A and B are shown apart, each in its own frame.
Chain A
């Protein structure tokens, strides 16, 4: 049980890296990139290519693929996404969904249908573990992934809080027109955000390929997981993606102890539960809390009555 909990928390680190990019795109450029998962898998295939064909060491490969992915994100935003976001919410969904289909089938055509993994290129890291005093062992790779996730979110936080780009991103995401009036090039900010988002997707894909087998059609599932982490953690919140990732990871990890299908099912159900809960809260708030839901009259506010009492006592 404790083992499943720890595994779930560490899995949350991977989801946080994957979801941070999706959340950034949604918060800044204001659309959901349905090809995010496919871009992650594409990044993983680039790392595999660098290792197997170019003969780079795995970590060097990851370090060189991340900037390539950033460039790809910049290009996608400049050529594709910038055109589509003008057409309401419908066109970005259709375009990125189509892009996903292109990536999946293109990767199948280029790299073949075999499932692949980076696991056998990183020595014993894929299975090595550290022993904790209470008799629990934690995998080294999950711990490294989690540490990288915290580092990534931390540096993203620093960039957003203190750098000029960060200020521009925050300004654009809260009000693009006002930001433009203040001399910010919103389209350049969008390109920067897309570059960061796609680079993070590539990094997440590399970690996925180290821990598991991937195939060209693995992207959509990863997109769903990333989206679930974003929604559970709260849309537009950076550290929320880590919280959401951990909740999702723990749910999946416990689900997997019940049955093989339980891994996905538990995550989906937690996601739908959180969505439902959020809808219910918004709904009941509109109607005046749970009393509103039940059709009961609202109670007079306690603090107001107390205040009255105090003032009347003061007068007497």
Chain B
């Protein structure tokens, strides 16, 4: 019998992580050099990447297509507002609010995760709508009018911008590492097994509900973090915007264009989405129509997205989610 050595880190994987650490360091130091405009734009980009990675974690790796992730985006922001109103320091409230939204996701998960496919997708949407309506009953939010995180005005504008930027960068780095770690753990392998065949996964002893729950709550927390950072950069909280289904449309676009079921794809998709918005955003509705057309086109003709297709054509994989089985004679790859 041959014993294989299990190798998780490919050479390209090590190089990529090293490069990512370098990029992180440069980005962390950037506020000392760049103008306020650049910092604001980059904060938005971080939010997009975070949303895309979280949606891909749900849909791509666990097969949970949710049209209701705006629920956590909105609830995170709302809880942060409530905490600030109760006297908490704004930046702490942004993080605690996101944790709160993650807790809200636990009871929702026990219900929603028992639904299948399209039912799950639309039930999540309905849940997001219910949460929006409930939040609008709160006098603090003032119904349709919305409210603002005025406590942030106590900070100097430049400091506020940089703090929000660092928070966004930190949240992104944290969630990317957590996702990477999770996907390489048993849970990640189990989630992909469930995605491909739920009954087969259950039959080999995977606790389907528990694995789905972990991924669902983590994705909810990530979306909520994006929501609170968005609140910090936009200041205003409008229930129809913060709980808007357009967030899910954006997530879907970024993941579909970049590449579903890949780790790098959503990041690339988010950068493309960000650039498209910078260039064509002024076109308004025709820009949004174009996004829809591109999304449908990718779904029809390039369902693996840009990165997925590139990986298939070239075999180049920066961050492998699988493992290498090595023995002295053969090198076999399994995913």
Q: Which residues of A contact B (CB under 8 A)?
A: 26, 31-32, 34, 80, 83-84, 87, 89-91, 93-95, 97-106, 108-109, 220, 223-224, 227-228, 231, 261, 264-265, 268-269, 271-272, 275-276, 279, 283
Give complex CA distance A265, B114 in Å: 22
The A-contacting residues of B in range 150-192, CB under 8 angstroms, are none
Give complex CA distance A269, B127 in Å: 9
Interface SS of chain A: helix, strand, loop or mixed?
Answer: helix
Q: B30 at interface (Cβ–Cβ under 8 A)?
A: no
Given A93-B121, A264-B133, A276-B111 in contact, is the A98-B59 Cβ separation under 8 Å?
A: no
Give complex CA distance A269, B131 in Å: 11
CB distance from A108 to the nearest CB of B (A): 4
- CB–CB B126/A271 < 8 A: yes
- CB–CB B299/A91 < 8 A: yes
Residue total for B at the interface (Cβ-Cβ under 8 A): 41
Give complex CA distance A80, B298 in Å: 12
CB distance from B39 to the nearest CB of A (A): 30
Given A31-B118, A102-B293 in contact, is the A272-B245 Cβ separation under 8 Å?
A: no
Identify the closest chain B residue to A89 (Cβ).
Answer: B117
CB distance from B212 to the nearest CB of A (A): 15
CB distance from B258 to the nearest CB of A (A): 13
Give complex CA distance A101, B245 in Å: 10
- CB–CB B289/A102 < 8 A: yes
- Write out the residue numbers on chain A whose beta carbons fall within 8 Å of the beta carbon of B291: 101
- CB–CB A97/B118 < 8 A: no
Q: B33 at interface (Cβ–Cβ under 8 A)?
A: no
5 smallest beta-carbon distances between A and B, as pairs: A101-B292, A102-B292, A32-B118, A98-B295, A105-B289
CB distance from A151 to the nearest CB of B (A): 28
Among B126, B137, B252, find the residue whose CB has the most chain A CB atoms closer than 10 A.
B126
Interface SS of chain B: helix, strand, loop or mixed?
Answer: helix
Q: B252 is contacted by which of A98, A268, A272 (Cβ under 8 Å)?
A: A98
Among A31, A80, A95, find the residue whose CB has the most chain B CB atoms closer than 10 A.
A95
Identify the closest chain B residue to A226 (Cβ).
Answer: B122
- Write out the residue numbers on chain A whose beta carbons fall within 8 Å of the beta carbon of B115: 275, 279
Complex A-B: 18 CB contacts under 8 Å = A34-B121, A80-B300, A87-B303, A93-B117, A94-B252, A97-B252, A101-B289, A102-B293, A102-B296, A105-B285, A224-B122, A224-B125, A224-B126, A228-B126, A264-B133, A268-B129, A271-B126, A279-B114
Q: B218 at interface (Cβ–Cβ under 8 A)?
A: no
Q: B249 at interface (Cβ–Cβ under 8 A)?
A: yes
- CB–CB B249/A101 < 8 A: yes
- CB–CB B292/A261 < 8 A: no
Identify the closest chain B residue to A93 (Cβ).
Answer: B65
Give complex CA distance A84, B125 in Å: 22
Give complex CA distance A91, B305 in Å: 12
- CB–CB B289/A106 < 8 A: yes
Known: A34-B67, A98-B299. 5 other contacts (CB 8 A): A93-B117, A108-B285, A109-B285, A265-B133, A268-B126
Give complex CA distance A87, B302 in Å: 12
Give complex CA distance A228, B125 in Å: 11
Contact with A along B104-128 (1 / 0, CB 8 A): 0000000100110111011101110
- CB–CB A98/B118 < 8 A: no
Give complex CA distance A93, B67 in Å: 9
- CB–CB A89/B256 < 8 A: no
Give complex CA distance A255, B260 in Å: 40
- CB–CB A261/B67 < 8 A: no
